[in-house]
Amino acid sequence: MENTTPATPAPDPTKLLDDQVQSMLSRANMGLSPIALSLAAADWAMHLACSPGKQMALAQKAAELSRQAVQRSLHAADPEATEKDSRFKDPAWTQWPYAALKEGFKASDSWWREAAKVDGMTRHHRHMVDFFARQFLDAMSPSNWAATNPEVLAKARETQGESLRKGFQHFSQDLHALANAKADTPSEALEPLEFAVGKDVACTPGKVVFRNHLIEIIQYLPTTAKVQPEPVLIVPSCIMKYYILDLSPKNSMVKYLVEQGHTVCIISWRNPDASDRDLKMQDYLSSGVLAAMEAVKASTGAARIHTVGYCLGGTFLAIAAATLGRLARKKADAWTAKEKALVPANLPELASVILLAAQTDFSEPGELGVFIDDEQLEGLRRSMAKKGYLSGRQMGGSFQFLASKDLVWSRNTSRYLLGEEDSSFDLMSWNADQTRLPARMHSEYLSSLFLNNALANGQYRFAGATVALMDISAPMMVVGTTRDHVSPWKSVYKIHLQTDTHVTFVLAAGGHNAGIVSEPGRPRRSYQIASVEDGQGWTDPDDWVAQAPVVQGSWWEAMHAWLNERSGTPIKPPAISPDRVVCEAPGDYVMVRYAD
């Protein structure tokens, strides 16, 4: 029989040459596009050069800041005064000459923050200049250098140089581990995690009741005599291992919900390899979120379920909920071929949709927007095309950039200059358990959602039709966090503009991770909460913050109460059929680790 398979076209040698050169340039700039950086710098420099008034204002600002810095450094500060910047909390920073170094650095920081704001620049370029100016200044902080950090010098004298020796040893170990990290290193050969998965974390008892190529579904064992009739399906982000929501028993959201009488199921995403390069976003929606809903219904027998989506998992959940809302208005025999192929017919009704730090409008993506433009996405595609995936190291590096002062420079000072071991706690151990993303899926996600904001603009298509979040009919609870660099809360808040259903909005104290993992009993935790009913109209986010009451404690308790209000009469816990059990929790997919 004649082979009708089309021949693979020969690669264009000129394109290969371009890719090689641009990849080299990108690697030399820590994965960033030198073209994008140069364009931003040129935009800033040219507008500043044509703005003599701005130049005069900056000169005056420099003179005033210099005067203030000299004045503060000459007059010793009160050692008991509160220093807001954690890098300079040691009392020695109030003494000469370190006070002069500190005040000079703070003056430079203030000046550059003003200098980065030049009228006429594109918003993206202004954002880039401001961001990288801060990165440079954070790197130049006198706290980062042994010769200018009094705390480092004092400890070196106190330990007779032992702290510096230990610091150099830590540096050598980290450098060796980085140089020898290979993608094909087996999991068992990697450095063990501080908190063992399945023993110290991800240890809530349960069973894996479903598995396909993309996901495992864990159903947790009940601990109460009766449970709510609607199970809770949690959709974590595929950017992270699921057990951020099942950390140590003391701060596990899964364990908390189980103990409150909820049947809890969670998706554990497969950690992809090069063979998964062509997985698409629609695979994550169809074989991921929708397949999970079908599996939960089959395992529990529930006709209605509550759903919770975290970060990118929340974005996926919102798309799935809107699709189900649209299809609910159609008879099953009226579904198109694409709908039948991608959407299971035996899905439960959604009793509620809870989104945790999840964006559905990406017009204001926060600090992540610095890394997203056409030029930088093209460079990322070239990098992913070689491997078939975005490595965990690349992803982790991007997130470290967002909080480099704490995640990079403060850690380096502590580990390499003071010779201290890294602080060990469950969230840090989870953060080291990195995941990958398939090349095609990640490219589609960044291009369609981040770059083109297709979901909010009514241009994102799934199952052969445009997704409109207005089709979500289930009541929603949406949670933002006050210090979120990944999903800024005002961006998350825009769900009010996109839906026409009940929305309870919660603004929790903390960041993208610590604000969500906020168990009852943790000190200094609070949240604001208010609801919007159908037809109530729009409230500006600043007005919302001014009006919404502040509640001390954990927002988990408000979520539990909100779920109970939308649940039926408690029932006997559904039994897990032995025929459905694939293996014990936490399953196999969460155990897959890679060196890169």
What confidence tens digit (pLDDT) does each residue in 234-251 have? 999 999 999 999 999 999
Amino acid at the residue 565: E
The number of C-alpha atoms within 13 Å of 337 and in the hemisphere containing its C-beta is: 0
Q: How confident is the model at residue 26, as a pLDDT?
A: 57
Chain segment 537-560, per-residue pLDDT in tens: 788 999 999 999 999 999 999 999
Torsion sign, CA atoms 287, 292, 298, 302: negative
Confidence bin at 81 (pLDDT 50/70/90): low
What pLDDT, on a 0 to 100 scale, did the predictor assign at position 77? 58
Which pLDDT score is estimated for 356?
97
> Do 359 and 318 meet the contact criterion of CB atoms below 8 Å apart?
no
Q: Considering only 186-190, 325-329, 394-398, which range has the smallest mean pLDDT? A: 186-190
What is the per-residue pLDDT for 2? 39
- Over 50: is that where the pLDDT of 561 sits? yes
Where do we find the tokens 């992803």?
395
Most confident of 301-310, 341-350, 511-520: 301-310
Q: Report the C-alpha gap between 372 and 128 in whole angstroms.
A: 10
Residue of 203, 238, 265, 311 marked active site: 311
- The CA distances from residue 223 to 226, 264, 450, 497, 563, in Å, are 9, 11, 41, 39, 18
108, 132, 170, 460 from 55: Cα distances, Å: 16, 20, 45, 44
Count Cβ atoms within 10 A of the Cβ of residue 294 and give its class: 0-12 exposed, 13-18 middle, 19 or more buried. Answer: middle
Torsional sign, CA 196, 202, 207, 213: negative
DSSP, collapsed to helix, strand or coil, labels residue 553 as coil
| Sequence letter at residue 207 | K
d(CA 564, CA 557): 11
Mean pLDDT of 282-304: 96
CA angle 181, 182, 183 (to 5 degrees): 125
Distance of CA 512 to the CA centre of its chain: 6
Instruction: Using a cut of 0.75, tell me whether the model's pTM lies above it.
Output: yes
pLDDT in the model for residue 4 = 42
Query: Contact, 430 vs 159, CB < 8 A?
Result: no
**Which among 60-74, 95-109, 110-124, 579-593 has the top mean pLDDT?**
579-593
Cα–Cα distances (Å) from 574 to 230, 250, 302, in that order, read 11, 26, 9
In angstroms, the CA 289 to CA 309 distance is 10
What average pLDDT does this structure show over 147-160?
91
In the predicted model, what is the mean pLDDT of residues 492-503?
93
Q: Choose among 124, 31, 40: nearest CA to 382.
A: 31
Q: Give the chain's end-to-end CA distance (angstroms, integer).
A: 44
Q: For residues 297 and 348, is the Cβ–Cβ distance under 8 A?
A: yes
Residues 329 and 310: their CA atoms lie apart, in Å, by 27
Which strands make up the sheet holding 349-356, listed edge to edge? 550-552, 526-532, 503-508, 476-481, 349-356, 304-310, 232-235, 264-269, 215-220, 206-211, 583-584
Res. 7 pLDDT band, cuts 50 70 90 = very low
327 vs 340: CA distance, rounded Å: 11
The residue with greater pLDDT, 177 or 204, is 204
What is the rounded average pLDDT of the residues 484-509?
A: 93
pLDDT for the residue 402: 66
Q: Is the pLDDT of residue 183 over 80?
A: no
Question: Structure tokens of 11?
Answer: 């690669």
Least confident of 156-160, 379-383, 557-561: 379-383
Residues β-bridged to residue 476: 353, 503
Those residues whose C-beta lies under 8 Å from the C-beta of residue 78, and which sit 6 or more positions away, are: 94
The two tokens of residue 186 are: 């087996």
pLDDT digits (tens, 9 = 90+) for 317-369: 999 999 999 998 887 778 888 888 898 888 999 999 999 999 999 988 877 77
The CA distance from 247 to 245, in Å, is: 6
Q: Which residue has the tokens 């994008």?
A: 36
Under 8 Å CB-to-CB from 559, ≥6 apart: which residues?
Answer: 354, 477, 479, 506
| pLDDT at position 6 | 44
What does the chain come to in residues? 596
**By the 8 A CB rule, do 461 and 487 touch?**
no
Q: Residue 38: what pLDDT?
A: 86
Is 203 annotated in the active site? no
Tokens found for residue 494:
């825009």
User: What Rg, from alpha-carbon coordinates, does the chain have?
Assistant: 26
